[in-house]
């Protein structure tokens, strides 16, 4: 069964959904940009966790996945952005070391790691003790970026009103300001959820 879903940076929601699917007897077999492909299995046979790994470079991700698979977990990578390009290079100032540069092919579009294990009644926690705060850093960077864009365009609107320039340009700037503001608010919500996790 194929299902198209997109959760972006809302890891908890995606994790809950995968676990609900598993309870109903569907096991993940493949992930794509939007795609989640499932096969039938016994209800509640498997359970899932999702980890944010965008602050890690490609070789770390590969090694980490091998380690987990060796321990009997199944892993899938998933994108956090909707992006179809090849040869992409992005800077990630909030990441560490060589992961500051994300490339596609490479670690770009592999921001999330989905981990599956057979349910055994014991708690399923990937990290015990201090948790990784990379997701919080990521959401904060994005939120600040979009809110500052929004502010910039809002100032543009103010400027064009004072200077009595064309109405169309101030409407254009106003719309952009609102779009960026909405995106900033989405990341503020995600930040709130990531912080409480």
Partner 1 sequence: MRDNVKGGALTETTFFVLLTLYRPNHGYGIMQFIEEKTKGRLYLGPGTLYGAINNLLSKGWIAPCGENQGSPKKLYIITEEGKRAAERELKRLTELCAIAREIIEGSRDDR
Which of the stretches 4-12, 36-44, 117-125, 159-167 binds partner 1 when contact is defined by CB under 8 A? Answer: 117-125
Q: What are phi and psi of 61, to 5 degrees?
A: -60, -45
Q: How far is the CB of 129 from partner 1 (least distance, A)?
A: 6
Residue 130 is a binding residue for partner 1 (CB under 8 A): yes
Residue 120 is a binding residue for partner 1 (CB under 8 A): no
Residue 98 is a binding residue for partner 1 (CB under 8 A): no
- Residues 134-193 within binding reach of partner 1 (CB under 8 A): none
Helix (H, G, I), strand (E, B) or coil at 175: helix
CA pair distance 22, 19, nearest whole angstrom: 5
Residue 126 is a binding residue for partner 1 (CB under 8 A): yes
In this structure, how many other beta carbons lie within 10 angstroms of the beta carbon of residue 158?
A: 13
Residue 77 is a binding residue for partner 1 (CB under 8 A): no
Say if residues 78 and 48 touch (Cβ distance below 8 Å). Answer: no
Residue with smaller CB distance to partner 1, 128 or 196: 128
Longest Cα–Cα distance in the chain: 68
For partner 1, the binding residue among 4, 70, 91, 166 (CB under 8 A) is 70
Which of the stretches 68-76, 152-160, 164-172, 175-183 binds partner 1 when contact is defined by CB under 8 A? Answer: 68-76
Q: How far is the CB of 165 from partner 1 (least distance, A)?
A: 54
Residue with smaller CB distance to partner 1, 115 or 191: 115
Residues in CB range of 83: below 8 A, 6 or more apart: 33, 104, 108, 109
Residue with smaller CB distance to partner 1, 38 or 52: 52
β-bridge partners, 2: 37
Residue 123 is a binding residue for partner 1 (CB under 8 A): yes
For partner 1, the binding residue among 4, 72, 91, 93 (CB under 8 A) is 72
E strand spans, the chain: 2-4, 26-31, 35-40, 46-52, 74-78, 88-91, 101-104, 112-118
Say if residues 116 and 27 touch (Cβ distance below 8 Å). Answer: yes
Q: Which residues are at the interface with partner 1 (CB under 8 A)?
A: 51, 64, 67-68, 70-73, 115, 122-123, 125-130, 132
């Amino acid at each position: 069964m194929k299902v198209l879903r997109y959760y972006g940076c809302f890891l908890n929601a995606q994790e809950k959904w995968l676990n609900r699917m598993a309870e109903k007897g569907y096991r993940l077999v493949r992930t794509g940009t939007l795609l989640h492909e499932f096969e039938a299995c016994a209800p509640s046979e498997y359970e899932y966790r999702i980890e944010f790994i965008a602050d890690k470079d490609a070789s770390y991700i590969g090694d980490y996945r091998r380690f987990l698979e060796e321990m009997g977990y199944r892993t899938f990578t998933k994108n956090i952005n909707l992006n179809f390009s090849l040869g992409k290079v992005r800077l990630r100032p909030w990441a560490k070391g060589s992961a500051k540069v994300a490339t596609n092919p490479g670690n770009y579009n592999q921001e999330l790691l989905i981990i599956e294990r057979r349910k055994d009644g014991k708690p399923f926690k990937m990290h015990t003790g201090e948790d990784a705060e990379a997701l919080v850093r990521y959401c904060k960077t994005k939120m600040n970026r979009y809110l500052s864009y929004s502010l910039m365009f809002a100032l543009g609107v103010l400027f064009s009103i004072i200077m009595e320039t064309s109405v169309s340009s101030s409407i254009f700037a106003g719309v952009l300001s609102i779009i960026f503001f909405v995106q900033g608010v989405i990341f503020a919500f995600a930040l709130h959820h990531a912080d409480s996790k």
